[in-house]
Structure 1
Amino acid sequence: MPVKFKVLQRKNPQDILAPEKFYAAAIADGETDLERLAELISYQCTVTEADCYAVLMSLEHNIIGELNEGRIVKLGRLGNFQVGLSSEGKDTAEEVSSSVIKKNRILFRPGKKMRNLLSTLSYKKVS
């Protein structure tokens, strides 16, 4: 099934006076939550849906805890999670402290199979 996209007109944030251009933007086609993942997994193995859900909840809890400790969380072939930062630039190393951190985010680096998915996707324009 193709990934749906729509066309959006946007300004260039680097040059507000430049004419707007048109861009493709992916459209989500529903959601899958932990309960649904637990159900799907339980159909593929001998573990019950409730057990799968408990494991997924524990996985979430432990990923958060490990990221909070500053660790990279490696989930094998699935990929890796890591905390990333953006900060103001300073002239000297001594001037850099936690107060210059302006943004933080969780980075996900997909594993090989997931990266390869991107090269096999097809797309469908919707209005």
Structure 2
Amino acid sequence: MVKIKAIPRANPLDAAAQPKFYAHAIADGTADLERLAYLVSNHSTVRESDCYAVLKALQFFIIDELNQGRIVKLDNIGSFQIGVRSNGMELADEVSGNTVRSAHLNFRPAKPLRKMLANVEFKLSNG
């Protein structure tokens, strides 16, 4: 169950309007590589240290493949791809690496994750 809380937000198009309240998801902790290795090891015959080593290697190679311009697809998890934001130029010939303002990571969830998102339950947090 995902906790939510009400967050007020002003209308950027009408500064005089009263803020409206929107649901905001609240994280309930963090699952790092050590936690994932522990969970995987408890559901398999693989030792926790071996799971951790594999996850660390996976992290390294995801970064390396993305850095080479590839899409990284993790079957039933989803795909990662680098995206960019750039300055608009008048001519295509003016676009270069220097016009890129920033890079970001795009994640496209696979079907099982999309299905989970469609069925997630929410609970209003008191805190």
Return the TM-score normalized by structure 1. Answer: 0.91
Distance in structure 1 (CA, Å) of the matches to 2:94 and 2:33: 43
| Secondary structure of 1:71's aligned partner | coil
Task: Provide the residue aligned with 2:117 in structure 1.
Answer: 118
- Using the alignment, how far apart are the partners of 1:17 and 1:91 within structure 2? 34
Q: 1:12 to 1:104 in 2, by over 3 A?
A: farther
- For the aligned residue pairs, the C-alpha RMSD in angstroms reads 1.4
Displacement of 1:21 in angstroms is 2.2
Identity %: 50
Unaligned runs of 5+ in 1: none
Select between 108-117 and 94-103 the one with higher mean Cα deviation. 94-103
Aligned equivalents of 2:44, 2:92: Cα separation in 1: 53
Aligned to 2:55: 56
- What is the match of residue 27 of structure 1? 26
In 2, Cα distance between equivalents of 1:93 and 1:71: 23
Deviations 1:17-72 (A, max 9, x none): 25232211000011111111101101111110000000000000000011111110
Give the stretch that moved more between structures: 86-95 or 61-70: 86-95
- Matched residue, 2:93: 94
Secondary structure of 1:66's aligned partner: helix
Name the CA distance, whole Å, in 2 between partners of 1:36 and 1:62: 20
Q: Distance in 1 between matches of 2:100 and 2:15?
A: 30
Paired position in structure 2 for 1:4: 3
Q: What 5-or-longer segments of structure 2 have no aligned partner?
A: none
C-alpha distance in 2, partners of 1:40/1:112?
22
Equivalent residues, number: 125
Q: 2 CA distance for matches of 1:85 and 1:116? A: 28
Equivalent position of 1:77 in the other structure: 76
Structure 1 segments of 4 or more deviating over 6 A? none
Using the TM superposition, give the Cα deviation of residue 94 of structure 1 relative to its aligned residue in structure 2, in angstroms. Answer: 1.2
